[in-house]
Amino acid sequence: MTQTLREYKKIEYRLDQATPINKYEMNAYNVPFAGNTSTCKEVFVKGDRILEYSIDGDISFAQIAQKPVFRDELVEYVFSISKQLVSIIQNGLKLDKIVWDVNSMFVKFVDFSVQLLYLPLECNFENRNIGQFFNELLSSLIYAHTPAIECANQIVDYFNDHREFDAFHFNEFVSELRSTSQLLIIQGENGRSEVLTTDTNNKEMAIHKAEEAAKRAEEARINAENEVKRQIEEAKYQAGVAREAEETRMKAEAARVEAEIWRQRVTAEARDYEQTAILTAGDDSLYQSAEEERIRAEKASSQYADEIRRAREREMHAEEARLQAEFAARKNAEEAKRQADVAKRQVEEARRLSEQVDEEPPTTLFSNRTIVGGSKPTITRKSTGETVQINKQVFCIGKADQGVDFKITGNKSISRRHAYITSINGVNYLRDNNSTNHTYLNGTQVYSNMDVIIPDNSVVRLSNEDFIFKSNS
C-alpha cells in the first residue's frame, strides 16, 4: 500500500545580504509545536538569499474570511493561535517576529489549526498590537449565525478589558470559550479522530446537535416526572401521618372528657365526704380518700391534655409537609411539561434537518451585513421615545460601548450585550444573550440562546425596560 504524501504550500521571504539568521530560533520553529507543523530553511536562488517556508495548510485565513464562519469553528482558529503564542514564549522566541498577516496564515481543515509563520532573523521588528490584530481579523469575518457573533464580541471585550497582552491568560480565556464547543468528532481511517468541517458537514453537525439537545431534554423530562412521582408519594405519606395524628388527637380528646367527668364526680364526692366527716365528729378518713381520688383524676386529665396538644402539633406539621409536597409536585409537573415541549421541538428540528435535501441551500446561514432595500423593522424605547431602525441581519441591543447596534444608556440593569434581533428570510427572531435580568416577549420570558419569532407590534422587555417592535417602518 502506497502512502500519499501531503503537498506543502511554499512561501518565500526574500532576505538582504546582511541580515543574519538566528539558528536557534530556526531550529526551534522547525520542531512541531502546538499543532504547527510548518518549517523554514535558508536557500539561495540565483545568488539571492531566501527563507523558504513549507506550509502544512489547506487555505489561507484570507480565504477563510470569504465564507460564513461558525462559532465553534472560530473558537478553534483562535485557540490554535493562542496556544502557539504560549509555546513560542516557552521556547524563548519573540511574538513580534510572527508574521501577522492573514495571507500568510494557513489553516488545516482536519483540526482547524492555524499555521503561523515566524521570522528567525537577527534584527529589530516593530512591536505588533496583538489585540488590534484580532479586532481587525474579527471585523473582517462573515458570521454564519448569532453564536459566532456573540463569541467574536466576547473576544473583542477581552482585549478592551486587557490592554496589556498576556499570552498565557489569553490562552486560558480561549480555553474557557472552547469548553462549551460542540464540534462533531468522527472516527476516520485507521482509527484517527477527525473534526468535521462546518462548510462541508454542517448538516451532520446540526443534526447531531439537535439530537443531543433532544436527548438532554428527554432526560430532564424523565427526571422531572420521577421527581413529581416522588413528591406525590411524599404528599400521600404526609396525609396518612396527618390522619393518624387526627385520630390520636380525637382519642386523647375523648379520654380527656372522660377524665374531666371523673374529676368532677370525685370532687363532688369529696365534698360529700367532707360534710359527712364533720357530722361524724372529725373523722376525716373518708374525706382524705376522696381527696386523693380527686388529685389522681386531675393528673389524668392534665396528662390527656398534654397528649392532645402533642397530637395537634404532629397533625399541623404533617399537614404543612403535605402542602409543601403537593406544591413541589405541581412545580415539577410544570417543569416536566416544559422539558417535554423542549424535547418535542428538538426532535422535530432533528427530523427536519435529517429530511432536508443536501442540494438545498441552508436557510439559516446569514452574514452580519446591512439590509438593503425594502422596509426595515424598528424598535422604540418607551421611556425615551428613541426609535432605531434594524438595518442588520444580526442586531445587538445592550449597554456596551462597542459591539452593539442600539446602545441603552441610563439603565445599569441592562447587560452589556443583552439581546439580539436577527432577520432570516424575512422573519425576525429575538434571542436572549444570557443576560442577568432576562428578556421577555409580550410578557413571556425568552430563554437564553433560543430564537423566538417576534410578531409585529410586540413588546420586548429587557430587564425592566420596555421596547416596541414593529416589523415595518
Q: Cα torsion at 59, 61, 63, 68 (round to 10°)?
A: 120
Phi, psi of 9 (to 5 degrees): -85, 145
Domain ranges of the chain: 9-179, 203-355, 378-470
In contact, 398 and 404? CB cutoff 8 Å: yes
In contact, 436 and 415? CB cutoff 8 Å: yes
Q: What CATH number labels 203-355?
A: 1.10.287
DSSP letters for 133-170: HHHHHHHHPEESSHHHHHHHHHHHHHHHH--S--HHHH
Specify the residue for cell string 462549551: 180
Closest-CA residue to 390 (of 413, 410, 374)? 374
In this prediction, residue 243 carries a pLDDT of 74
Strand segments (E) across 154-277: 185-187, 193-195
In this prediction, residue 15 carries a pLDDT of 87
pTM of this prediction? 0.46
C-alpha 9: how far from chain center: 40
What is the layout of strands, in order, in the sheet containing 9-15? 9-15, 48-55, 39-45
HSE-CB of 186 using CA atoms within 13 angstroms? 11
In this prediction, residue 187 carries a pLDDT of 34
In contact, 413 and 398? CB cutoff 8 Å: no
The fold for domain 9-179 equals Transferase(Phosphotransferase); domain 1 (1.10.510)
In this prediction, residue 262 carries a pLDDT of 65
CA 398/CA 409 separation, integer angstroms: 9
In this prediction, residue 406 carries a pLDDT of 95
In this prediction, residue 8 carries a pLDDT of 65
In contact, 290 and 269? CB cutoff 8 Å: yes
Closest-CA residue to 339 (of 228, 216, 217)? 217
In this prediction, residue 358 carries a pLDDT of 38
Consecutive 10-residue runs of the chain (473 residues): their mean pLDDT? 49 87 91 88 88 87 84 91 93 92 87 90 87 90 83 90 92 90 46 38 53 65 72 72 71 68 65 54 56 66 64 67 68 66 61 45 36 73 95 87 90 92 80 90 84 89 95 74
CATH class, range 378-470: mainly beta
In this prediction, residue 83 carries a pLDDT of 93
